Amino acid sequence: MSFRGFLPRERFDTLFSILHKIGAQCIGPTVKEGAITYAHLSSSAQFPHKVTDQQEPGSYRLTPTTDARWFAWANGPQALKPLVFAPEEILWRSERNATGTIAFTTDAAQMPLTAVIGVRACDLAALALQDQHFLHPQGQDASYASRRRQLILIAVNCTHPSASCFCHATGDGPEVDQDYDLLLDELDHGFAVRCSGATGEQIVQQLSLEPLQPSQLNEIDNANRHAAEQQTRHLPATDLEQVLNTLQESGRWQDIAERCLSCGNCTSVCPSCFCHSQHDVPAADGITSTHVRQWDSCFTQGHSYIHGLVIRNETRFRYRQWLTHKFAGWIRQYGRSGCVGCGRCITWCPVGIDVTEELQGLTEEYNNA
């Protein structure tokens, strides 16, 4: 899509007003609990100001910066996933009446129109993957679908990848090229604006954009190219599906298991992981109960429990499952790898296990065999 114009920084809150006018709540990046996280916002004053992030395996720190841009940082622990695939939600309620029959009622997920400001390319790619899973033609997930319909996606191109990022290697970033309503490029004094679809068009019409200068277009090109070049992590340039499927009995899985806590942080922050479990929460009255779905992980015992048996009872099997499914199984299931290169599993692993390093080690073992 072509550029539609320039939105000066001091008029950015017009966007909030337009979104509120069309009935949308706004969610965007803000500093909370020592990280840049997404929360309900009412104005640009709540964006991160003069702050950036430093990420490395097992470590995330906010640091002050003289850069006055609001989006001069790489993704924090979460973005879109919790909005559409709820971490915990009630699927239905049951109530036993006096005659002993049980009545079921569903809790239709209700999310108002929701504009998410600041979405990055990796998260849009992950959203497309989650769509493939939850909006599958043979079994659409009603709660996911109802929330997904309510999203207005206002992307901002990423110019500050962290040391954990590798979206250039998966082909998912850093430039946004899909599924947005508005796409912004941040410049010193404001934002270059592109749009897509009817909602995006409707918003742009009301923004009273100024013309963009050719020098600004050059600056945007350079910033996007620079963002890709800054990334230091890579994936092995090989057929990972073949490597992983061949090395199922590798000793490396045990080596990883000695470091891995099997805590599930990697799968929880992964924007494409979709595993969940369900259980019932009975009320004290002994009559009513709610059926709850929550995020699960291939690192839990319950994930591989089948009729009296935990199939993956050791960490080496659980890590193998995570890596093999993410980088090999997904290809057969959904036509592409499940990794979008956001690097969250590297930063947010409490002991700093790095998937790119493990995949490199496995590839070397495969090549030397």
Residues written for the chain: 369
Distances from the Cα of 209 to the Cα of 9, 58, 114, 212, 273, angstroms: 11, 42, 23, 9, 38
In the complex, the smallest distance separating the C-beta of residue 218 from other proteins, rounded to whole angstroms, is 37
Distance CA 307, CA 174 (A): 44
**Residue 133 contacts residue 125 (beta carbons within 8 Å):** no
Distance CA 247, CA 179 (A): 36
Q: Decide: is 74 part of the binding site for other proteins (CB under 8 A).
A: no
Q: Decide: is 284 part of the binding site for other proteins (CB under 8 A).
A: yes
Sole binder of other proteins in the list 282, 311, 333, 357 (CB under 8 A):
282
Which region, left, alpha or beta, applies to residue 264 given φ > 0 means left and ψ of -120 to 50 means alpha? left
Q: Decide: is 283 part of the binding site for other proteins (CB under 8 A).
A: yes
Q: Decide: is 297 part of the binding site for other proteins (CB under 8 A).
A: yes
Q: Decide: is 33 part of the binding site for other proteins (CB under 8 A).
A: yes
Antiparallel, parallel or unpaired: β 309-310 and 182-187: unpaired
Q: Decide: is 157 part of the binding site for other proteins (CB under 8 A).
A: no
Sole binder of other proteins in the list 51, 91, 145, 263 (CB under 8 A):
263
Residue closer to other proteins by CB (options 96, 336) is 96
In the complex, the smallest distance separating the C-beta of residue 167 from other proteins, rounded to whole angstroms, is 20
In the shown chain, the binding pattern of residues 331 to 350 toward other proteins, with x for contact by CB under 8 A and - for none, equals: ----------------xx-x
Distance CA 367, CA 139 (A): 40
Q: Decide: is 99 part of the binding site for other proteins (CB under 8 A).
A: no
- The footprint of other proteins on this chain (CB under 8 A) covers a number of residues equal to 50
Q: Segment near other proteins (CB under 8 A), from 59-67, 198-206, 220-228, 355-363?
A: 59-67
Sole binder of other proteins in the list 30, 52, 75, 78 (CB under 8 A):
78
Residue closer to other proteins by CB (options 51, 257) is 257
With residue 175 as reference, give the H or E element that holds it: none
In the complex, the smallest distance separating the C-beta of residue 117 from other proteins, rounded to whole angstroms, is 18
With residue 62 as reference, give the H or E element that holds it: strand 59-64
Token pair for residue 133? 């899973």
Residue closer to other proteins by CB (options 36, 212) is 36
In the complex, the smallest distance separating the C-beta of residue 174 from other proteins, rounded to whole angstroms, is 23
Phi, then psi, of 145 in degrees rounded to 5: -60, -40
**Residue 173 contacts residue 200 (beta carbons within 8 Å):** no
Distance CA 123, CA 167 (A): 10
Q: Decide: is 279 part of the binding site for other proteins (CB under 8 A).
A: yes
Distance CA 186, CA 191 (A): 5
Residues that bind other proteins (CB under 8 A): 32-35, 37, 58-62, 76-78, 82, 87-88, 257-265, 268-269, 279, 281-286, 289, 294-297, 299-302, 313-315, 347-348, 350-351
